[in-house]
Amino acid sequence: MVVRLARLAPPLECVRLYDLEAGLDGFIAIHSTALGPGAGGCRLWSYPDMKQALGDAVRLAEGMSYKNALAGLPLGGAKAVLRKPEGEFDRVALFRAFGRAVENLGGLYVTAEDVGTSVEDMQEVASVSRHVAGLPAVAGRAGGDPSPWTAKGVFESMQVAAEFALARDLAGLTVAVQGTGNVGADLCRRLAEAGARLVIADVNPARRDRLRAVHGAEVVDVSEIASVDADIFAPCALGGALDRETVGKLKARLVCGAANNQLATPDVAALLMERGIAYAPDYVVNAGGIINVSAEYLGEDEEDVKFRVAEIAPRVGALLERAAREGRSPALVADEMAEEVIAGAQREAA
């Protein structure tokens, strides 16, 4: 069975970023501004060519439209993707040049951290543009690294999804975590505290080995993490973790993780269903980070963030129940719900 996930129109705008001197080379893709400024992080990665960087920017921007809509945020979807310069490079110059490009868009795009970028990088952006979040928190206000909020939302979603799919709490379950970076590491900490057993993999040995020492996690090779004997698979690295081959090898009965765009192709959602593997849609469970970013940009306080992040897990539970009731993929149901929100805003604006 092949399920086609409905898709919105192509990106509203795609901006090419190029400043040879500063080492800036990439794109800002703005997919939708129906609900508010296009918001989504800035990724710095070693893309082999421009085509792959552009493809990633467009897919990630689209994902942000859906994520922001379903999280109830007054934000559209966008993303910046920068090619990491080879060898040594001047980070300050690069992120100031990026910041100037963000400022030139006059608030159409709001940036923050993503894979490969840090709070320090966003501070450089903030020196030239006000359309940035993920800056150090000011007392009483929302702000700072969004990763712990993302991890909290993923962890709580996993609790609800495990109850739904496995009729168990997390104590004693084995969770295979792919990618132990900012979000993955915090998720591991929460899982260890909840009594889960951890199996982890990361392409960066230093990142995974510190977790082995702290939580007694079992370390496996990155090529094995998806097929280890585990109850839950948590993709927390890059996108495309679930392709047909990987899903064919999964032993876990539930997939719930932080990575964006986990399904390599839309038909993988149907394959998961066929194999009886529950799937907590990526952009629903990982909304904690953008909730924090949004609150910071809008000048809200931490209580607003807590309130909205606490809504993620019940939303995931309701989504899984509705999908099961209707015999459809949770990914498809989530997309439809997000599209309804965006279409409603478009109707109101017309």
Residues annotated within the binding site for NAD(+) are 179-184
By CB under 6 A, what part of segment 289-328 binds ligand NAD?
289
Rounded distance, CA 241 to CA 290, Å? 21
Distance CA 320, CA 165 (A): 9
Pick between residue 93 and residue 219 the one whose CB is nearest to ligand NAD.
Answer: 219
Nearer to ligand NAD, 178 or 246 (CB): 178
Question: Are 83 and 43 contacting, i.e. CB atoms less than 8 angstroms apart?
Answer: no
Min separation Cβ 24 and ligand NAD, Å: 20
Distance CA 147, CA 152 (A): 9
Is residue 184 within the footprint of ligand NAD (CB under 6 A)?
Answer: yes
| Other CB atoms within 10 Å distance of the CB of residue 279 | 25
Q: Is 68 in the site for ligand NAD (CB under 6 A)?
A: no
From 237, 280, 284, 334, residue interacting with ligand NAD (rule: CB under 6 A): 237
Q: What angle do CA 25, 95, 239 make, to 5 degrees?
A: 60
Closer of 225 and 341 to ligand NAD (Cβ): 225
Return the axis-axis angle of helices 147-166 and 182-193, rounded to nearest 10°.
50
Active site residue 306: no
Count residues contacting ligand NAD (CB under 6 A)? 27
Among 128, 137, 222, 298, indicate the residue that binds ligand NAD (CB under 6 A): 222
Among 129, 157, 159, 260, binds ligand NAD (CB under 6 A): 260
DSSP 7-44: --PSPSEEEEEEETTTTEEEEEEEEE-SSSSEE--EEE
Asked if residue 242 lies in contact with residue 263, where contact means CB atoms within 8 angstroms, the answer is yes
Which residues from 100-159 bind ligand NAD, rule CB under 6 A?
A: 114-116, 146-147, 150
Residue with tokens 């459809």, as numbered in its chain: 328
Q: Which residue is nearest to ligand NAD (CB)?
A: 181
Q: Alpha helix (H) ranges present in the chain?
A: 50-70, 91-104, 119-126, 147-166, 182-193, 205-215, 244-249, 268-274, 282-285, 288-297, 302-310, 312-326, 330-349
- Cβ distance to ligand NAD smaller for residue 257 or 317: 257
Which of residues 204 and 265 has its CB atom nearest to ligand NAD in the complex?
Answer: 204
Catalytic residue among 79, 152, 251, 306: 79
Q: Does 258 bind ligand NAD (CB under 6 A)?
A: yes
Choose the stretch contacting ligand NAD; rule: CB under 6 A; options: 28-36, 161-169, 195-203, 331-339. 195-203
Residues that bind ligand NAD (CB under 6 A): 114-116, 146-147, 150, 178-184, 201-204, 207, 222, 236-238, 258-260, 286, 289
